[in-house]
Each structure stands twice: as structure tokens, then as C-alpha cells.
Amino acid sequence: MRILITGGAGFIGSNLAEALLNDPRVTGVRVLDNLATGSRKNIEPFLSNPKFEFLEGDIRSYETCLNACRDTDVVTHQAALGSVPRSINDPLTTNEVNITGTLNIFTAAKESGIKRVVFAASSSTYGDHKALPKVEDTIGNPLSPYAVTKYVNELYAKVYADLYGIEYIGLRYFNIFGPRQNPNGPYAAVIPLFAEALLKSKPPVINGDGGHSRDFTYVDNAVQANILSLFTTDSEAVNQVYNIACGQQTSLLQLFEGLKKEAGISMDPVFGPERKGDVKHSLADISKAQRLLGYQVKVSVEDGLGKTFNWYRQNPF
């Protein structure tokens, strides 16, 4: 199978590329990335692999997407502009990348005869629906432009399946973390920010009182979900959206304590204002992914934090 990974030089995409290159069922991995939030450094180890191909380009260009889909069997679409705060500050660019870019990929896949598109959806789709744990078929109103874009991706996927017969699988990620997640920039995620601060012996800033909780999920679990989705032959498993998480709630303070333990230092955080558009609590019901995809939580939050902190210690940004 020949696989296109959009956003393959990014955090999740590069971890996925590494796993697919080591999969004997895969004959070729093509990565499309504009390197806006991804990094050439993430894919440098793969450049000498004869199964690997890198295309530098932007999913906002339909011609680029069409070219990337050439001679490809399936697509795993990871390219996106993440971050709720970024989408609040710049909704137009978030919309262009996440909606227009995704529509370009879906359409290019259709025109290229690609049978299946797996795509990165988001837990932000649950919006203001307060019930926990989150179950796939019950969502609320979106709380940010980012959340709107990720929900629209799901709507387009279903329409393309109904109209054109393309198979899709949407993976609603819940706060994925792990190696290669960049701590730099104004929209960096919380775990790399905490890790970088601890490695520099500087107290990190926690937005709010530290009571916000998330279903933090180590990247290997997200990679596993993508591979299961790409290769499943179960007709019931396709044209579905799945929660991809650990099914475990961790507060920001608990997260900081876990990383502090890994660092072996004692330090108190600095508390800042809450972020606009943030959901207070999040927790996934992962039973659907377990039942239909065979998804399993292979790396716990605790083990993932240890692996991640050690990676940052050995690979300073």
C-alpha cells in the first residue's frame, strides 16, 4: 500500500511516518507539508529511505493536493492549523487551512480514485456539551473557530462518502503529546511548555487555577489508531468518527506534578488567566474505537510523560 501523509513533517505526522515506514505492508510513504508548523528536522531520518518521498507544498493549493495524491492508495490527513487561541486571533487562516485545505484533499482523493481518507478530527467538536465522558454521537455548540473547522471536516467527510463513495474515518484526538511536539511559538501545547520550563528550571505558567482537566494521550496511541484505520477491512468500521484517547482525566496540576517528578526538582507553577474558548473538562469514551477498530491504550499517560520528558532532555529545542 502506498500512503500519503499530509502534515507528515509535523508532530503526529512524523511519528506516523516513522511507524508506516517500518510496516511491511507499506510500499511507499509520501509526505506533503508546507513546513509552517512542521519541521524538516522531524523527517530528516527518513530522507534516505527508498520508501520515503517528501513534497513541500500547501494543502490550500488544489493542484498541490492533486499532485500529492498521484499514485497513492490511501490518505491520512494530519495537516491542520491547530490551537484554539490561534483560531481566535486569526480565524481566516485557520478556516483556509482546516476547511479549504481539507476539502482540497477530499476532492483530490476523489479525483485520484483513492479509496479511503483517514483524517485528524478533534475533541474540540464536543464544544459546550458538558456531559462526561464524551460519546461520539453527542456534541454541543463549538466554542472557537478551530472547533468549527474541525466539525465542518466531519460534515464534508460524510457528504463525500454519501455522494462519491469515498470511505472515511475521522479520529477525534484528545490532547495528543509526545516526542517532536514543539515547545516554541505562541501556540505551543502545554506538555512541551511544561517540560521546557522544567528543563530550564523556570516555573511554567498554568492558565487558570490548574483544575482544568484533559484526556491526555501519548502519540503512539494516535499512531496506532491511524494504522488500524488505514488497514481495517471491516465495513462497519469505516465512515465513522472515533474518540482517540486514554479514557483518563488528568488536571493541569496533576500533569505538572508528574513532569516535576520526572525532572526530579521541586518548583511551584505561576498561575495566569484562563484562555478564551477553553473547555473546562474533557474525558473520552473510547469503547467505540475499541470495539470497531481494535484500538487499545498501549501507552499510559504516566509512561508517556516519562518517555516524553526524557526525549526533551535528549533533544533540546
Question: Which residues belong to the active site?
Answer: 146
55-62 long-range contacts, Cβ below 8 Å, gap at least 24? 55/30, 55/31, 57/32, 57/33, 58/34, 58/101, 59/6, 59/32, 59/34, 59/97, 59/101, 59/102, 59/104, 59/105, 60/96, 60/97, 60/100, 60/101, 60/104, 61/104, 62/104, 62/107, 62/108
Task: Calculate the CA dihedral of residues 63, 68, 72, 74 and round it to 10 degrees.
Answer: -90
User: Are residues 58 and 49 in contact, defined by beta-carbon separation less than 8 angstroms?
Assistant: no
CA 222, CA 249: separation in Å to the nearest integer? 17
